[in-house]
Structure 1
Amino acid sequence: MKKVLLLFTCLISWNLYGQGLPGLGSGSTPNNKPILHGKNWVAITGKPLGATAGAAIFQQGGNAVDAACAMIAATSTMWDVLSWGGETQALIYHPIEKKVIAINALGYAPTGATVDFFKSQGMDYPPQYGPLAATTPGTPGGIMTMLAEYGTMSLEQILAPSMELAKGYPLEAQTANAMEAQKERIKQWPYSKKIFLPHLGEEREAPVAGEIFVQEDLYQTLSKLIEAEREALAEGKTREEAIYAAYDRFYKGDIAKEIVRGTREQGGLFTEEDLANWKVKIEEPSHVNYKGIDVYKLQEWTQGPALLQSLNILENFDLKSMGYNSANYINTVYQAMSLAFADRDFYYGDPAFVDSPMEGLLSKEYAKERAKLIGDVNDPKIGPGDPYPFQEGTNPYLDILKSNQEAMAALSPEDINQSLDDQFITDFLSGTTTVEAADAEGWVVSVTPSGGWIPAVVAGNTGVGLSQRMQSFVIDEKLNPYNLPEPGKRPRVTLTPSLALKDGKPFLSFAVQGGDSQDQNLLQYFLNVVEFGMDVQEASEAANFNSYQMQSSFGDHEIRPGAIVLRKDTPDWVTKNLSKRGYSIELWNKTSGPINAIWFDWKHGSFWGGSSDYGDDYGIAW
């Protein structure tokens, strides 16, 4: 044990050594944070202890899927804007089959969650918080399915770091302060109050940074999963069968019963059948080719295809000649995103329930038509297009589409020039975390797990914090007829890992936290690498911009047409030029959530890892 701890200390020391010293970056400006160089493996996620969990699994001989599962489990236990009742979305490169596989472990709407139900409650949207905001838990099933199908280790090995964390670990300031800031809402829910507010009645009721945070109920829940696995192995079951025995105990056994009891006690809609009938889906990803690079995203139950649409549109422009973050470049990319996200807002939904026109939306011909709408000045009234003619079909919602387009065209100057108030920004950028892992055998995993962030409703005595993802549905079909709540239906979410292949081999694995801004930041990250030759760390630290000319997927689903956020070091001549083009500009110190990525150096047989230079995100390589 001492040798392992010493190794981690050395790894972390080597990774931190020389931060900020000249010459560490490959570009003309040194990176603030060093590149992670590895020959055998790379593990990156949203918390340092989470990355250590992944490194521990690699050191025990696990592959990238094993390590990714351990990191998801650890960050869920640490409430890194997710918990065990949230959702997990992943892209996995399978080196034997030489293909990208999509993991859909998003929970669905419970029994009774209908448009009429939410309207009867006087709601314009499903709520942001509380038991009615919860979809069924997806992360436990996602971890166990990925591990059983593509990993090599036991669930007990994978959960060992999480169980140690649940016994008690020193809490980070970010999480401790979130508990204190949200304590009035937390007090509504008895099981949440028991965990998050151990100092009730004192001036500060949440833990302080560095305090040992104990989660006994969660520890017992994880112990039950290990117990189910052990019993199955003792009966002669295979590794995979034993993991699925634990899966069944969570979704069909005593754990499920307590989740349902505790959720319904607090006003939720879950039934035992809801949990028993939910399944992880292993799917084909969506993808397009951008200048010889195959870019993969999850299907239209996420916003991922909007990045692919943006790339198709931008392929019609010479971005490199415009120059990185020039006024022409920003104007072009901003409008391409506006076009793609207008389509996202209207057409995307759960393909198990609706038939979104993805063939048309992702066609190069449709992209060319959309590209013609990009002008020298911003158009804040851009609305969804009609992709059906590009797949030889007829739009079944032409009347609603026309109404939507007319509503955008009728926007007043006051609508366009609204400020970015704090609540809108908080909703728009609602976070997730990311997990990136790769190994020498060729396995690559990119994940954006989320849901069950603080303040979360904890489901009875399980220690499991429930998702808040129901809020991503709409209940007005004029906004999106494809994304209306129904029992068993998954909401269209913002969560969006990314993988890119070049010459049939992994090229770039990348993901970011940040709600609706995710695919904006990832699009710019990809272009930074492909068009402007940045390395993985330079691209993570580079200035980018955020558009708010799209519906927020959270809260009241608001939109801020024409609004753009630039980093404060943007030159004056660029901001003045964009202002003349009709943009409402704000300048911020940081313009994206933390971006984590792995680039594959096939010439030298090594990995390059990049991790944002702010926030708690961290990586380890060997």
Structure 2
Amino acid sequence: MKALQLFFCFLILGQGSLAQSFNNLPVTTQKPPLHGRHWMAIGGKPLAATAGAMIFAKGGNAVDASCAMLAVSCTMWDVLSWGGETQALIYHPKLKKVIAINALGVAPTGAMPEFFKEKGMKYPPEWGALAAVTPGTPGGLLTMLAEWGTLSLKEVLAPAMQMAEGYPIEAQTANSIERAKERIKEWPYSKKVFLTHPGQEREAPNAGEIFVQKDLLETLRKMVEAEQQALKRGKSRKEAIYAAYDRFYKGDIAKEFVRGCQEQGGLITEQDLAQWKVKIEEPLMTTYRGIEVYKLQAWTQGPAMLQTLNILENFDLKSMGYNSTRYIHTLYQAMNLAFADRDFYYGDPAFAPEEPIRGLLSKEYAKERSKLINPLKNDPKAAPGDPYPFEGKQNPFKSLLQQWGTSQSQLYRPGHPAADEQFYARFQAGTTTVETADKEGWVVSITPSGGWVPACIAGNTGIGMSQRMQSFVLDEKENPFNVVAPGKRPRVTLTPSMALKDGRPYLSFAKQAGDEQDQLLLQFFLNMVEFDMTVQEAAEAPSFKTLQMYTSFGEHEKSPGGLILNSAMPPWSRKELARMGYTISYQDRTSGPVNAIWFDWANGSMWGGSSNHGEDYGIGW
């Protein structure tokens, strides 16, 4: 793309904030919707979207662009690092199907419940080398690029490598480093990278300072070098990219990563890295009002949104009115039931026992669950159901079900749980998003995460290790499907989303923020489907949040009846909800951040939407 074209791309981002609803009546949104005919790139930071635009300008497709955006997001520490995990849904226009990418790391050798219990831990730790599963993002990026991209790794990593050479760090990341500097000082390689002003009052970089990452640049250079050497040997484009994959997971990069991990008390071995593989899977799907909604399998929380939609099909949501007391209560109760199932039945499908996913996603099971909703008050004891009869089986965990939820230490009871910074931070921990689409029909939705600040960097690789081990449990009474074991993937919160209507892409959407993800993605989706909002209106519309599911981080606590409302909620609704048994907190902005692309087939164009807080935004052309 010529410089003038890029100028107009940015000019679009700066235009006025008047959006058009579907019936052409003007509606004010705080961000303008994005419009594109040829491509769309939306991410957690503007510079990530810029990287996507650069790749599209080179002639790359949506997969190429998403990989470049992912690489840049990791390099910018947009609440993730290269050592984290990547989850994606890809719409393949030639096959006319949605493909699922499982690039989540696994628990390393020696990661058994007894190991952590002997250390006096109730769960695997939140921080440090012992919190790390094997890195998944490099493998996920390389696999997507090799299988469905068109450009070379050298071309796709170029923006990230430029940033590793030095880029003006943003205030959000710089300040998070400063806040976490005492923990960062515990890890020598992290201290070397993050604390650019050691001994001064502010030891983190200043906003706008050129932040240089020499070790990470060298790691990326080695990956590109492996690709280029393979091409010189006559290897194909795909084979050359997988040569970079092998150098990361089996070569000198792997050796240094393992050395640095183990030096700092971690368990990851060279064999753990060499044996780990990206999985290309079939996604899960349900229908809602004739729309196909796709999620990843039960190693994520994604199916909980599908379960909730199945329950909500038994109610006339539109007649309740958007964000009415009855609407909020019905969604809250439906989510409680689905998330209780998540907390007990979800885990890595590659390990026994087998998750009863057919029963969980059964419309008949959802209908039975919907009958449990009391229209007058909250049920603080909402528990997992029994999906096994809906598969024609007997539940082998009935005795555990009877004990579920009895741990008083996991109940968080303060009057305003959202006011407790540590408790609420665990509900919205980490994560960013990448959304891309192109005129050829490729659509990509990614929710990558892991290795966020304060990250423990593995040796001289410049790579922050994942903190995802904490999402396991140690006691099968909590979840017999998610007990830690070597080679096993933890049940994560990360959950990209995609919807098809009439056999064509309808919506691609994702959001950051831990356990909040599927509950706010659900509301965003309903905003469009039930209330005819534009994608930007739906992304900005006030949402509410439940704190009644067990958080997937830290001490795995929950707050029965905990409800976060938008500050604009009228007094009479607040009073009604309090009377129904909710413990209410308030936030000024509750919409996300959600990033999404809506496909306007009538006009042959794409609309992009991004919530009105955070640094998320994009570019369309």
* TM-score in same-fold range (> 0.5): yes
Instruction: Call closer, same or farther: CA 1:173–1:413 in 2, change over 3 Å.
Output: closer
Match of 1:530 in 2: 529
Q: Deviations over 1:311-348 (max 9, x none)?
A: 00000000000000000000000000000000000000
Match of 1:170 in 2: 168
TM-fit CA distance, 1:593: 3.1
Match of 2:513 in 1: 514
Q: Deviations over 1:154-210 (max 9, x none)?
A: 000000000000000000000000000000000000000000001100000000000
The answer on whether the counterparts of 1:108 and 1:491 sit within 8 Å (CA) in structure 2 is: yes
Q: Is 394-403 or 267-276 further displaced after alignment?
A: 394-403
Amino acid at match of 1:98: K
Q: CA RMSD, aligned part only?
A: 1.6
Match of 2:582 in 1: 583
User: Match for 1:271 among 259, 269, 272?
Assistant: 269
Q: Deviations over 1:16-57 (max 9, x none)?
A: 1113x5869966531111111000000000111110000000
Match of 2:292 in 1: 294
Match of 1:403 in 2: 403
Match of 1:461 in 2: 460
Task: Percent identity, please.
Answer: 65
The answer on whether the counterparts of 1:114 and 1:485 sit within 8 Å (CA) in structure 2 is: yes
Q: How does 1:153-168 map to 2 (within 5 A)?
A: 153-168=151-166
Amino acid at match of 1:94: H
Instruction: Call closer, same or farther: CA 1:153–1:22 in 2, change over 3 Å.
Output: closer
Match of 1:207 in 2: 205
Match of 2:318 in 1: 320
The answer on whether the counterparts of 1:55 and 1:67 sit within 8 Å (CA) in structure 2 is: yes
Q: Is 573-582 or 498-507 further displaced after alignment?
A: 573-582
Q: How does 1:365-404 map to 2 (within 5 A)?
A: 365-376=364-375, 377-404=377-404
Match of 2:444 in 1: 445
Instruction: Call closer, same or farther: CA 1:347–1:416 in 2, change over 3 Å.
Output: farther
Q: Give the match's secondary structure for 2:545.
A: strand
Instruction: Call closer, same or farther: CA 1:63–1:238 in 2, change over 3 Å.
Output: same
Cα separation, 2, equivalents of 1:89 and 1:431: 14
Cα separation, 1, equivalents of 2:522 and 2:58: 35
The answer on whether the counterparts of 1:8 and 1:52 sit within 8 Å (CA) in structure 2 is: no
Amino acid at match of 2:392: E
Cα separation, 2, equivalents of 1:526 and 1:13: 29
Amino acid at match of 2:162: E
Cα separation, 2, equivalents of 1:91 and 1:386: 29
Match of 2:59 in 1: 61
Instruction: Call closer, same or farther: CA 1:16–1:24 in 2, change over 3 Å.
Output: farther
Match of 1:564 in 2: 563
Cα separation, 1, equivalents of 2:410 and 2:9: 56
Cα separation, 2, equivalents of 1:615 and 1:599: 21
Cα separation, 1, equivalents of 2:409 and 2:485: 31
Amino acid at match of 1:461: N
Amino acid at match of 1:260: V
Cα separation, 2, equivalents of 1:65 and 1:438: 8
Instruction: Call closer, same or farther: CA 1:557–1:260 in 2, change over 3 Å.
Output: same
Match of 1:244 in 2: 242
Q: How does 1:21-420 map to 2 (within 5 A)?
A: 21=18, 29-354=27-352, 355-376=354-375, 377-404=377-404, 407=406, 415=413, 419-420=417-418
Cα separation, 2, equivalents of 1:459 and 1:414: 34
Q: Give the match's secondary structure for 1:491.
A: coil
Match of 1:18 in 2: 16
Amino acid at match of 2:460: N
Number of aligned residues: 617
The answer on whether the counterparts of 2:43 and 2:435 sit within 8 Å (CA) in structure 1 is: yes
TM-fit CA distance, 1:9: 2.8
TM-fit CA distance, 1:396: 1.2
Cα separation, 1, equivalents of 2:7 and 2:201: 37
Q: How does 1:590-605 map to 2 (within 5 A)?
A: 590-605=589-604
Amino acid at match of 1:341: F
TM-fit CA distance, 1:613: 1.5
Instruction: Call closer, same or farther: CA 1:52–1:265 in 2, change over 3 Å.
Output: same
TM-fit CA distance, 1:8: 2.4
Cα separation, 1, equivalents of 2:4 and 2:252: 40
Q: Give the match's secondary structure for 1:54.
A: helix
Name the TM-score, length of structure 1 as normaliser. 0.97
Q: Give the match's secondary structure for 2:509.
A: strand
The answer on whether the counterparts of 1:417 and 1:560 sit within 8 Å (CA) in structure 2 is: no
Match of 1:478 in 2: 477
Cα separation, 2, equivalents of 1:27 and 1:329: 25
The answer on whether the counterparts of 1:514 and 1:592 sit within 8 Å (CA) in structure 2 is: no
Cα separation, 2, equivalents of 1:371 and 1:438: 36
TM-fit CA distance, 1:4: 4.1
Q: Give the match's secondary structure for 1:436.
A: strand
The answer on whether the counterparts of 2:411 and 2:560 sit within 8 Å (CA) in structure 1 is: no
Q: Is 326-335 or 24-33 further displaced after alignment?
A: 24-33
The answer on whether the counterparts of 1:27 and 1:538 sit within 8 Å (CA) in structure 2 is: no
Cα separation, 2, equivalents of 1:220 and 1:467: 20
Q: Give the match's secondary structure for 1:29.
A: strand
Whether 1:606 aligns to 2:602 is no
The answer on whether the counterparts of 2:539 and 2:593 sit within 8 Å (CA) in structure 1 is: yes
The answer on whether the counterparts of 2:312 and 2:370 sit within 8 Å (CA) in structure 1 is: yes
Amino acid at match of 1:304: G
Amino acid at match of 1:613: N
Instruction: Call closer, same or farther: CA 1:412–1:228 in 2, change over 3 Å.
Output: closer
Q: Which runs of 5+ in 2 are unaligned?
A: none
Instruction: Call closer, same or farther: CA 1:453–1:412 in 2, change over 3 Å.
Output: closer
The answer on whether the counterparts of 2:411 and 2:558 sit within 8 Å (CA) in structure 1 is: no
- Runs of 4+ residues over 6 Å off in structure 1: 22-25, 410-414
The answer on whether the counterparts of 1:166 and 1:216 sit within 8 Å (CA) in structure 2 is: yes
Cα separation, 2, equivalents of 1:525 and 1:180: 34
Q: Which runs of 5+ in 1 are unaligned?
A: none
Instruction: Call closer, same or farther: CA 1:414–1:251 in 2, change over 3 Å.
Output: closer
Q: Deviations over 1:436-485 (max 9, x none)?
A: 00000000000000000000011100101110000000112111111011
Amino acid at match of 2:40: V
Cα separation, 2, equivalents of 1:144 and 1:325: 42
Cα separation, 2, equivalents of 1:271 and 1:111: 7
Cα separation, 1, equivalents of 2:261 and 2:237: 32
Amino acid at match of 1:481: P
Amino acid at match of 1:177: N
Q: Give the match's secondary structure for 2:549.
A: coil
Q: Give the match's secondary structure for 1:12.
A: helix
Q: Deviations over 1:568-610 (max 9, x none)?
A: 0111121111111111111111224310000000011100000
Match of 2:614 in 1: 615
Q: Give the match's secondary structure for 2:99.
A: strand
